[in-house]
Amino acid sequence: MSTSQPERAVARTQVIMQSTLALAQESGYAKLSIEAVAARAGVGKHTIYRRWPSKGLLFLDSLLSLNEPVLDFPDTGDVLADLRQQTYAAVDLLANPPWGPLYQSLVGEAQHDPAVAAGLSERFIRPQTDRTVARLKSAQDQGQVAPDFDLDLVMAILSGPLYFRLLITQEPMTHDYVDRIFEALFAGLSPRG
């Protein structure tokens, strides 16, 4: 039984993306090249360039192809518990290989490549932000969050300390650190008497 052309294309795409991630883990994103990926995947450079116009976009697709859990929110009726559970999942994802180091590299590349920045925002950051804000809006509607609190600001306050540690200080991101963030945040987020 022969494999159809679309099936071969999908399989080839998977091999290319797996090769990209393996090489990035072995030698770092800075040393990653289309030539090296092509050699590892057993394809020509043109095969890669037909799908991805740049190394950064190839890396973006490759990283986002990993079958990592979606950082979704439960809705148990306790917004603090739900946010904490979701943030623990984010910390666990970003604090460990392969995601953490690869994501750091991707964010770095996004600073120099507007197409990577747009793709990362559209495909990962914006969906996560939208889920967070939707969960906060639900809590606000239920009276668990002050009605006048700026939910986009809450999102920035939640993500800022994580990105600060991930990208700037490279200090460990732990559940204890998350707990301290929430303790500080929820002092101002709770409805006033």
In the prediction, which pLDDT does 1 show?
Answer: 53
pTM of the entire predicted model = 0.84
From residue 11, give the alpha-carbon distance in Å to each of 3, 25, 63, 99: 10, 21, 17, 22
Domains of the chain, CATH where assigned: 5-63 (1.10.10.60), 79-189 (1.10.357.10)
Query: pLDDT tens track of the chain, all 193 residues?
Result: 566 778 888 899 999 999 999 999 999 999 999 999 999 999 999 999 999 999 999 999 999 888 665 667 778 889 889 999 989 988 998 888 888 899 999 999 999 999 999 999 999 999 989 988 999 999 999 998 889 889 999 889 889 999 999 999 999 999 999 999 988 877 765 666 6
Q: Which residue has the tokens 């030539």?
A: 35
Q: Is 29 exposed, middle or buried (0-12, 13-18, 19+ CB in 10 A)?
A: buried
> Positive or negative, the Cα torsion across 101, 91, 177, 134?
positive
Exposure letters 63-89 (e unless 16+ CB within 10 A, then b): beeeeeeebebeeeeebbebbbebbeb
Q: Give 168's contacts (C-beta < 8 A, 6+ positions apart).
A: none
Alpha-carbon span 93 to 66, nearest angstrom: 12
